Structure 1
Amino acid sequence: MLKGFLTVGGWTMASRILGLVRDQLLAAFMGAGPMQDAYLVAFRLPNMFRRLFGEGAFNAAFVPLFSSILAEHGETEARLLARRVFGVLLTWLVILCVLGEIFMPAVLRVIAPGFAKNGPQYDLGVTLSRITFPYLVLICAAALVSGVLNGLHRFGVAAAAYLAFNVIGIAAVLFATPYFPSVAHAAAWGVTVSGVVQLGLLMIAARRAGFDLTPLPPRLTPRVRLLGRRMLPGLIGSGVTQINLTIDTIIATLLPTGSISFMYFADRLNQLPLGVLGAAAGTTLLPVLTRHLAEGDHDGAHGAQGRALDYVLMLTLPAMAGLLALGTPIMQVLFSHGSFTLTDGAMSAQSLRAYAIGLPAFVLIKVLSPAFFARGDTSTPVKIGFFTLVLNLILNLLLMRPLAHIGPPLASSLAAIANVAILSMLLFRRDALRIDAVARNRIVLMTVAACAMALILFGANSMLPHPTSRITAWLGLRLAVEVPLGGLVYLILLHMFHVLDLAAALDGARRRLSRRRRAAQ
């Protein structure tokens, strides 16, 4: 499982880094204004589908069913299921896309009610949304092919294909802008074109794996119906985080201009550890849990769940601490270029800290949800999802006026924490989650180490002067010292607390590097 975790995590990290480059270009070209806000709203709806299907609910329903049929009935039956589902999925998505294109003005009034007061911004939002909306068809189809590859344990190929989204997005902003009315139009077309490329790459990979996934005419066979029953509640149970973020965007359109941009860029940075750790853990854990449970190996399932919790907390807790302590210089160094000012960076950092509070909870949702899905239980997560959706909406309405662009991110974080608390309680009651005394002690010690790291970084950051003009080189130099300092402090504390043996870890890394060199020769 660790190999799959690292493979998916590595490719996802590469994609997130390219995503930061793409977002830097968007910030530099459009700043934090009406055009940026309109583009981000147009991007939010298909992007929500991408995260729901590409990183969550579809795999949660499809992979266990596909894996079980592959193991019990062989490749022919598994391929038939995939092709049947492909036909049904494409039919439904095309109908949805056509309806969305026709009724996009009404859709935008729902997801961006604040734009109705600004005619030009509303018109731009409708145009851009119509350009990006076909992406949901392409990315959901790509999610099915990706699910097949994950079921075949070809995690790297499926994860690598998503690099195309950011590569094409960067190229669109840099090279296609002169041929469109604005950079927002070029970026919107880049989204849709990237979907075509991603789906094409995954189809080629599936064919090389011996799985021809040409869609069959849509038929609601018993297996397709079973998948539908599992998938629909899973969309909420596994995708609560993304739905909450969409609610944040809806609320943000009612806030001052630029709020959507502040929250978006903060979320993008928060998504770096969340996407890498959450997607990697959720993608690799679900097939492993399903296999253990199918074999009746409940101890193995508990062990896999415990290792996943340990992995993600060891990496997520210091990420949260670092974002809380260094949020402002990080946002300013990454995004305060061109039209995006230092003040914009500082405002976005306020949203980032609110998101960071819930970062461990956001990731743990990805780790805990598969424990339900692997046991065929999709109704419990959906009930919890409905509760946290309502909680998030209530918190948004309470916090949006006094906290402005900080309110919606804080509401999402608090709702995610509540989600994790309820998921954990129910899993404990069902004996589907076990955390022994050793694991609890490790979690406490990792938390202490992360808090100590944050205090040291807060102190170091407060003692150094802050620029009053656009001097990001100085901020970058500071971060080049502070980030390694924080990481070093955390590792040393983990070593002192006997949570991590640094000597053994370094020796293991050297052995793996040596094996790779010998293999390359």
Structure 2
Amino acid sequence: MSLIRNVGTIGGLTAVSRVFGFARDMILARVLGAGLAADAFQLAFTLPNTFRRLFAEGAFSVAFVPLYSRALHGHDGEPGSEEAAEKFADDVLAVFVWVLVAFSAVAMLAMPGIVWLLASEFQKVPGKFDLAVTLSRVTFPYLTLISLVAMLSGLLNARSRFAPGAAAPILLNVSLIAAMGFAWYTHRGDDLVTAWSLAVGVSVAGLLQLLYLMWETRRAGVRLKLTLPKLTPEVRRLGALILPATFGAGIYQISQLVDTFFATSLPQGSLTLLKLADRLNQMPLGIVGIALGTAILPMLSRHIHTGNRGEAQRLQTNAFEIATLLTLPAAAALAICAPAFVTAFFVGGKFRPEDGVIMAQIVVALVAGLPAYVIVKILNPGFFAREDTRTPVWTALASLIFNVFLNFYVVRQYGIVGLAAATACSASLNCLLLYIILHRRGWFHFTAKLAGRIARQVIATVVMGAALWFLMPALSPYFGASVLDRIWSLLALVGAGMAVFFGTAYLVGAIDPDLIAMLRRRRPKRTEADDEILEVQ
């Protein structure tokens, strides 16, 4: 299956999930605003999500997928088999389940201490700290459930079945929207009831996602069995790979927790505003970055395991070009149009216009790092596919140290907006370090053709940005007006931006039609001569 098709599948379903997530946050902003209950729920939702990204989508996935792919497809001339892959998955599942259950139980017992470490300032507001602890205990079972979902998703990804894993998050957003609807119908917008209903909805969503992935796994012909845990050589090898990957992913997640700590020390509502602003930033990040990173990891692993360096270089180059083509204009458009998007989508109900002003500023700061966030998703598989999970640890550690020191300065000076800007700067540093190391090891390098293509993309982005800058004042009276006015004004803004960007991109040659045509069809395996030509280029 081609890269474009894989990215299209993942990105399309992720886009649907992001739309539902966007609707979820729009409703949440209106029914809870940026107050006590909203902050407590955001913290309760952040905790299982942080550990999910650390264990499930972070360390576990990047170590599990290459090893499962090797068992299934073979390595260094040794054939793979369904039996070997199934046995490996069963052995991993038997150990993984008990680790998750034990960790979740300990965390739930220690929840008052965890919340105190992250949000001790909540104690200054009566009832806020206790509510955050209780809601966190209600949401934490989600970690165990969604971690198992991540394992099943990785198993299917290794078989080039990307749709189920990409579709599963839709169930989370639908569940939370239903939870808010239930709270509104039964208690007419009581903040505490809404927060409780949302917390329960999180854990229910994890169960629904697990049942769905179990069904999809059976449809794929895989029959997993829960056996007694055994530390087989393959499981020990997975553990050896997970350990450094956990530190690497852990550094990133610690960075997120550091941001949460600083946000909870700022005026009430700051944490909620940061999370809502990140929703706008996550739209292109999830659709483009996660889709590309998920799609290229198993494909890159196969090329590397078969010794096809040329195809590995070509795959990463194509992914890099697609990423910049989509994220450069997205970042510019979000930065320029942030007041429009925030006003049209979020301001209303309990979410005040003054909250919208601050949130728009946070969005501008966050999207400055959007290209870097996405490119990191493309560069990391270059290490993971080679079973090198250590190097990203050091780059992430350097970025974390930089982020923490920067936060101590900018948060005092610029508050929550400074915090968002520091996050963008640290992501850019991580991206730069990863590329330098890949280049020095000869695993990936910029070509003159790629640099020229990105330069043309920048030109098209600048032209689009200028058009949006002049169009914003004319449409600004409609962004906060009636629903119809909000819809048509945003459609006009987005439509104009897309038309100008892609029109200019076509004229200056920022879009490579040969690349698109090549990626849409299956390509024959390259010969050694082809690889030598590519290396010269």
TM-score with structure 2 length normalisation? 0.90
Q: Give CA deviations for 1:376-433 in whole Å, capped at 9, x if unaligned.
A: 1111111111111111111112111211110211111000000001001111111111
Structure 2: distance between partners of 1:242 and 1:489:
38
1:354 alignment counterpart: 365
The match for 1:492 among 503, 512, 515 is 503
- The equivalent residue for 2:206 is 195
After alignment, is 196-205 or 114-123 more displaced?
114-123
Larger mean Cα displacement after TM superposition, 71-80 or 200-209: 71-80
Q: C-alpha distance in 2, partners of 1:131/1:197?
A: 16
Against the structure 1 CA distance between its residues 472 and 90, is the aligned structure 2 distance closer, same or farther, given a 3 Å change threshold? same
Q: CA deviation at 1:53?
A: 5.0
CA distance in 2, matches of 1:120, 1:139: 29
Equivalent positions of 1:54-69 (< 5 A) are 55-69=57-71
> Is 1:89 matched with 2:100?
no
> Separation in 2 of the partners of 1:473 and 1:264?
27
Name the amino acid aligned to 1:69.
A
Question: Which residue among 333, 336, 339 is the counterpart of 2:350?
Answer: 339
| Residue range with higher mean Cα deviation, 86-95 or 317-326 | 86-95
CA distance in 2, matches of 1:469, 1:324: 18
Residue pair 1:289, 1:371 contacting (<8 A) in 2 also? yes
Seq. identity, %? 39
Aligned to 2:42: 40
Amino acid corresponding to residue 95 of structure 1 in structure 2: A
Q: Which moved more, 1:330-339 or 1:494-503?
A: 494-503
1:164 is aligned to 2:171: yes
Which residue in the other structure is 2:33 paired with? 31
CA contact (8 A) 1:164 1:198 kept: yes
**Counterparts in 2 of 1:175-254, with a 5 A limit?**
175-176=182-183, 178=186, 182-238=193-249, 241-254=252-265
> Is the CA contact 1:332–1:342 (under 8 Å) kept in the aligned structure 2?
yes
Greater shift, 206-215 or 236-245, is seen at 236-245
For the structure 1 residues 20 and 172, does the alpha-carbon distance in structure 2 shift closer, same or farther, using more than 3 Å as the test?
Answer: same
Give yes or no for contact 1:308–1:367 (8 Å, CA) kept in 2: yes
Contact 2:342–2:356 (8 Å) recurs in 1: yes
Distance 1:469 1:430, change over 3 A: closer
Inter-CA distance 505–213: structure 2 relative to 1 (3 Å threshold) = closer
Distance 2:49 2:25 in 1: 14
Does the Cα contact within 8 Å between 1:495 and 1:502 map onto a contact in 2? no
Residue 314 (structure 2) pairs with residue 312 (structure 1): no
1:136 aligns with 2:143: yes
Question: CA contact under 8 A between 1:56 and 1:282: conserved in structure 2?
Answer: no
Unmatched tracts of structure 2, length 5 or more: 75-79, 522-537
Deviates more, 1:69-78 or 1:162-171: 69-78
1:3 shift after superposition: 0.9
Distance 2:428 2:515 in 1: 34
User: Which amino acid is the alignment partner of residue 330 of structure 2?
Assistant: A
Q: Where does residue 531 of structure 2 map in the other structure?
A: none
Instruction: Count matched residues.
Output: 509
CA distance in 1, matches of 2:61, 2:37: 34
CA distance in 1, matches of 2:480, 2:165: 44
SS at match of 2:127: helix
Answer yes or no: is the 8 Å Cα contact 2:453–2:511 preserved in 1.
no
**Shift in alpha-carbon separation, 1:493–1:238, aligned structure 2, 3 A:** farther
Whether the 8 Å contact between 1:399 and 1:411 is mirrored in structure 2 is yes
User: Paired residue for 1:98?
Assistant: 105
User: Is 1:423–2:428 an aligned residue pair?
Assistant: no
Cα separation, 2, equivalents of 1:35 and 1:411: 27
- Counterpart position of 2:116: 109
TM-score, normalized by length of structure 1? 0.93
Contact 1:336 1:472 in 2 (8 A): no
| Shift, 1:329, TM fit | 1.0
Which residue of 424, 444, 449 maps to 1:433? 444
CA distance in 1, matches of 2:307, 2:416: 49
d(CA) in 1 for partners of 2:142 and 2:286? 20
Is 1:443 the counterpart of 2:450? The answer is: no
State the Cα deviation string for residues 439-464 of structure 1 (Å, max 9, x = none).
10001111121122112212221355
Deviation at 1:246, TM superposition (A): 2.7
Distance in 2, Cα, partners of 1:317 & 1:202: 34
State the Cα distance separating 1:238 from its structure 2 match.
4.8
Aligned to 2:490: 479
Give how far 1:176 is off: 4.5
Give the C-alpha shift of residue 118 in structure 1: 2.1
Task: Name the residue aligned to 1:7.
Answer: 9
Letter in 1 for 2:27: L
Residue 336 (structure 2) pairs with residue 325 (structure 1): yes
Say which is worse superposed, 212-221 or 410-419, in terms of deviation.
212-221
Separation of aligned partners in 1, 2:254 and 2:321: 27
Q: Residues 468 and 169 of structure 1: is their aligned pair in 2 closer, same or farther, counting only changes over 3 Å?
A: closer
CA separation of 1:462 and 1:186: change in aligned 2, threshold 3 A: same
| Cα RMSD after superposing both structures | 2.2
Aligned 8 A contact 1:59 1:283 in 2: no
For the residues of structure 1 that align with 2:19 and 2:52, how far apart are their CA atoms?
18
Going from structure 1 to structure 2, the CA distance change for 1:329 and 1:236 (only over 3 Å counts) comes to farther
Seen in structure 2, the aligned counterparts of structure 1 residues 469 and 20 have a Cα distance that, compared at 3 Å, is closer
